[in-house]
Amino acid sequence: MRWTLKPIPENHKIVKLAKELNIDTELATLLIQRGIENYEQAKHFFRPSLIKLHNPYLMKDMAKAVSRIEKALVSKEKIMVYGDYDVDGTSSVALVYSYLLQFSNLVTTYIPDRYAEGYGISFLGIDYAADNGISLIIALDCGIKEAKKVAYATEKKIDFIICDHHLPGDEIPKAVAVLNPKQADCNYPFKELCGCGVGFKMIQALAQKHHQTIEDLIPYLDLVAAAIAADIVPMDGENRILAYFGLIQINKNPRPGIKALIHQLKKEITITDVVFQIAPRINAAGRMKHGNHAVELLIEEDFETAVNFAKEIEIYNTDRRATEKEITEQALKQIIDNGEEKNCATVVFNKNWHKGVIGIVASRLIETYHKPTIVFTESNGFYVASARSVNGFDLYGSLEKCSEYIEQFGGHTHAAGITILPKNYSLFKEKFEKVVNKTLEEKSKTPEILIDLEIDLSSVTPKFYRILKQLEPFGPANMKPVFISSGLRDNGFGKAVGVDENHVKLNIINGADPKTYNAIGFNLAERYTKIKGGFQAVYTIEENQWNGNTTLQLMLKDIKEE
């Protein structure tokens, strides 16, 4: 692991902010690293306000979108709310559908089948709309690169409103309205909304039309927070405000479907819980069965019925874990058998791999080899893939350089979906390897740990942790603070734990300080056995709840002998 200490701000700035906010210099340093340098910025950061959300009509085409939806409501047209099958897409569909339902009972939902239709807007979905007399489709978390599909719908007298956040292509679809802050000519102040965030801005604009306030929209924020967390978008600007109030909604008054997913956790739900507990379960429906199951759960109004839906989804999630583990093992074996461990990129294929989990498998392979990774399987006569990147490498830009061998692709810097013809697989693989070899920087070949601050272990107190919690919700642009401490030793009771004994549990002491600090390091047991004396540790601080007691615990990210 490559340890990188973030630049420490100028001392006069630290001292000034610490005095202005009456906080210690360590916290002041963390704030300045996050772009917070004065009292006013700190107030907005620590006390998010829904009033600070931007006017939705600043987004290009918003007035057109609202006008078209209003026309459909007044004329009693049938409306289809269409979305992708992942958390962002299904949450978006549940959000817009449940909002519009208060004005019309002629609203229906549509999630494409991952296997029969693939990602994004499908001809099959448009045909379904035409056959059922639907004249308006609102597409969420997809559509920005679907010019041909939108043109096909227009021929069938179906209008489209697109709410997307992915990077636009060269041609913008000729829809009635295209809501996407990433459009070059869109002046909306915040560019990093997820798909559900764009959908929320649309219902915010509709709410203004119906004389509703932002408070009337709070019940929908549990869905927005789930999508923000799952899509790993920057946790600043509007995303921080929406996630902050969405987490309050999840903890105090979640919709029955989300309550059914979390009622067994019996603790305050954090953004981490959403990422690792809620999101994978919502995703599992679309991965293993059909995204409709997730939408049904999220729009269900009866708790007992929602619990039954949640039990079904739990089965899908269990199947997903088993399938993912099996495919990862097969992919690792393929890499070794082909002698490709030293390649600059990882590209693997098996026609029998489950399309729903190849994205997770790509992430698992990066954990082992830490290089841009593409996992292909076969679907409907094509080879389809999920691609994942490493920090500092522009995956989307690299795929553009291989476009002569690609039928279709979409995504962003860190993740993408790809479709190619079987005959082009070897050619694509060879070209992608060359592109990565030429453009991947040396430093990106090693996993990096970004460290916020060096502190003494004596700083790790309940008061310090309470202040750190106020930095939540964490995510890109506001990651959980990572610390480094030196001069550490185990008090002699350290031991390997876990079924395979590959984790390590330590009781750390620091110099003459008699206090011990509990620590756990996942997959660090082998590393620890090589340390003979004092060591340095990079860690985050967590609460550990055990037998009714709550203590602080260091979550070790890496350790090195001094």
Residue type, 384: V
Whether 380 shows a pLDDT value over 90: the answer reads no
Fold of 56-312: inorganic pyrophosphatase (n-terminal core) (3.90.1640)
Q: What is the mean pLDDT of the chain?
A: 93
Each as own residue / partner, the long-range contacts of residues 105-109 (CB below 8 Å, 24 or more positions apart, any chain) are: 106/76, 106/77, 106/78, 106/79, 107/78, 107/79, 107/80, 107/81, 108/78, 108/79, 108/80, 108/81, 108/132, 108/134, 109/80, 109/81, 109/82, 109/83, 109/292, 109/295, 109/299
Q: Dihedral of CA 143/245/188/236: which sign? A: negative
What confidence score (pLDDT) does residue 492 get?
A: 79
Sorting pLDDT into bands at 50, 70 and 90, what band is 162? very high
Provide the percentage of residues in the chain whose pLDDT is more than 70: 100
Strands of 359-432, DSSP E: 373-379, 382-388, 408-411, 415-420
Classify residue 40 by burial, with Cβ atoms within 10 Å: 0-12, 13-18, 19+: exposed
**Stretch 500-521: mean pLDDT:** 87
Q: What is the rounded distance in angstroms from the CA atom of residue 501 to the CA atom of residue 504?
A: 8
What confidence score (pLDDT) does residue 263 get?
A: 80
Strands of 366-412, DSSP E: 373-379, 382-388, 408-411
Whether 268 shows a pLDDT value over 90: the answer reads no
- pTM value is 0.89
Within 10 Å of residue 492's Cβ, how many Cβ atoms? Answer: 7
By three-state DSSP, how is residue 197 classified?
A: helix
Tokens 């379960």 locate to 281
What confidence score (pLDDT) does residue 11 get?
A: 95
**Stretch 236-257: mean pLDDT:** 96
Instruction: Give the model confidence (pLDDT) of 443-468 as tens digits.
Output: 888 888 999 999 999 889 888 999 89
**Stretch 502-525: mean pLDDT:** 88
Spatial CB neighbours of 498, under 8 Å, sequence gap ≥ 6 = 525
Whether 412 shows a pLDDT value over 80: the answer reads no
In 3D space, the residue among 273, 281, 234, 239 whose CA is nearest the CA of residue 413 turns out to be 234
Which of 60-64, 86-90, 306-310 is modeled with the greatest confidence?
60-64
Provide the percentage of residues in the chain whose pLDDT is more than 90: 77
Sorting pLDDT into bands at 50, 70 and 90, what band is 266? low
What confidence score (pLDDT) does residue 253 get?
A: 94
Sorting pLDDT into bands at 50, 70 and 90, what band is 494? confident
What confidence score (pLDDT) does residue 528 get?
A: 87
In 3D space, the residue among 549, 547, 488, 548 whose CA is nearest the CA of residue 519 turns out to be 488
User: Which residue intervals of the chain bear CATH 2.40.50.460?
Assistant: 2-7+449-561
What confidence score (pLDDT) does residue 431 get?
A: 97
User: CATH number of the domain at 2-7+449-561, out of 3.20.20.140, 3.40.50.450, 2.40.50.460, 2.60.40.3500?
Assistant: 2.40.50.460
Tokens 């992608």 locate to 432
**Stretch 36-48: mean pLDDT:** 94
User: Which residue intervals of the chain bear CATH 3.90.1640.30?
Assistant: 56-312
**Stretch 411-430: mean pLDDT:** 91
User: CATH number of the domain at 338-445, out of 1.10.10.10, 3.30.70.20, 3.10.310.30, 1.10.1060.10?
Assistant: 3.10.310.30
Q: What is the rounded distance in angstroms from the CA atom of residue 545 to the CA atom of residue 533?
A: 30
User: Which residue intervals of the chain bear CATH 3.10.310.30?
Assistant: 338-445
What confidence score (pLDDT) does residue 50 get?
A: 97
Sorting pLDDT into bands at 50, 70 and 90, what band is 439? very high
Spatial CB neighbours of 132, under 8 Å, sequence gap ≥ 6 = 78, 108
Sorting pLDDT into bands at 50, 70 and 90, what band is 118? confident
What confidence score (pLDDT) does residue 514 get?
A: 77
**Stretch 492-498: mean pLDDT:** 84
